[in-house]
Amino acid sequence: MTPISIGLIGIGCLFLLMLLRTPVAFAMMIVGFFGMWILEGFRSASGVVVTESYSTVASYSLIVAPMFVLLGNVSSAAGFSSGLYDAAYAWVGRFRGGLASASVLACAAFAAVCGSSVATAVTLGKVALPEMKRLGYASGLSTGAIAAGGTLGFLIPPSTGFVLYAILTEQSIGRLFMAGVIPGLMLTALFMLVVWLVCFFRPEAGPRGRAMSLAEKISTLGKSAPLLGVMVLSIGGIYVGVFTPVEASGVGAALVILLAFITRSITLKTFWAAVQDTLKTSVMLYIIVIGANVLNPFFAVTRIPDFLGTGLQGLGLGAYGSLIVIILAYVVLGMFMDGLAMLVVTVPIVYPIMMSFGFDPIWFGVIVVIVIEMGMITPPVGMNVFVVRGVAGDVQLSTIFRGVFPFLLAMIVALILIIIFPQIALFLPNSMYG
């Protein structure tokens, strides 16, 4: 049996294990270990597991993930996220659908300190959904705005998706973070445009909120200032070169913890709960990275990426035709797989193929993250939809999926724009790093 045949069987076993609900990290470890054992022997397979486990845990660059997760958890526990929502509502709430637009804005702001799609959807959903329900918003619009807005946590830095992509492809975390800024802002604007269009055609879907005075608007900005300040300091510090991404994550987490205790917004009990949540999330991320690093040598030995790349080139579709095929494959996988699982399983395979066509690795990272974002709100899996369903309580899944459909179209528009105009993603990283 050829190495390529063994590799294809390994991919089939990987998906079978995930269908049997084996955690994706352990599915990757099992396939990678036994695949290497068959091809290279037990000593080589066990050596890969040991060395990759140690190198992942000892990785300095990966510290950025738990630090930003801690920052987001402490911010949520201290109630800083509600300040972001209040500030957004004060400025845009008077327009039709203003509360939904404010929710999208707050999601974008919280994503800039959290880095997690699910955490963003849960945190802002708890704050915004009851208020939108009280004011008579259509359930589809309110839940759709939160589910779609939550996906911004996977794109706007500090994005967990970019951290994992950087680790898997050995790219710069800082460049990827900067590459996500303009696309993230563009997608936020497109989501707000969707809210406006829905309310233009269906005015009853999003009633106007109370108009607030300038003094009230400035007051709400003051309440959200601590978290906005940390966000500007962390991301801005990376851009101007004051901090590395790891240093920015540590500074941001320390400042939020300090502010939470100074303002007495958090107790030792709630702080400890935030730390425990951070530990759980961090352990999950580390195990996923270990699993991916055990699987990658197996793919390298079997030369699966080269085989698939040659097959794509043989179809004569060209670089962009092949890109569209891979995007469509991601869309299909996104209907059945969790976003992080899809990222760590597919990137080691598709990344070498895309690089063989001469695409920019940072630009391709943005494309991958946006397509995975789309999977977070597409049926039947749609992780963010299920999360919002849990927060909303009495809203049917079908209603939420209908509500996110216009936002899904906005993501497709954003994807097309970034493919046609790569500088949307590359301008900041290129101007920063030269």
Query: What are the pLDDT digits (tens) for 55-106?
Result: 888 888 788 888 888 887 888 788 776 777 777 777 776 777 888 888 888 8
* Residue 359: per-residue pLDDT: 92
Contact 139/403 with Cβ under 8 angstroms? Answer: yes
* Residue 228: per-residue pLDDT: 75
160's CB contacts (< 8 A; 6+ apart) are 65, 68, 69, 115, 116, 153, 154, 285, 340
d(CA 289, CA 294): 9
* Token representation of residue 341: 């699982």
Residue 170: which of 55, 333, 93 has the closest Cα?
55
Burial 266-280 (b: 16+ CB within 10 A, else e): beeebbeebeebbee
Confidence at 433, pLDDT banded by 50, 70, 90: low
Please state, rounded to an integer, the average pLDDT across all residues of the chain.
84
Query: Would you call 89 exposed, middle or buried from its count of C-beta atoms within 10 A (0-12, 13-18, 19+)?
Result: buried
Average pLDDT of 159-168? 86
d(CA 312, CA 328): 14
List helix spans (H) across 20-116: 24-40, 42-57, 64-78, 80-92, 98-114
33's CB contacts (< 8 A; 6+ apart) are 45, 46, 48, 49, 294
* Residue 295: per-residue pLDDT: 85
Single pTM value for the model: 0.83
| The most confident of 24-33, 178-187, 369-378, by mean pLDDT | 178-187
Model confidence pLDDT, tens digit, residues 412-431: 999 999 999 999 999 988 88
pLDDT at 349 > cutoff 80:
yes
* Residue 253: per-residue pLDDT: 86
Number of helices and strands in the chain (H, E): 21, 0
* Residue 348: per-residue pLDDT: 84
131 CB neighbour count, 10 Å cutoff: 17
Model confidence pLDDT, tens digit, residues 197-239: 998 888 888 777 677 777 777 777 766 777 777 777 877 787 7
Give the distance from CA 161 to its chain's centroid. Answer: 5
Percent of the chain with pLDDT over 90: 14
Task: Report domain extents, the chain.
Answer: 61-285+310-433
Distances, alpha carbon 42 to alpha carbons 36, 259, 302, in Å:
8, 52, 16
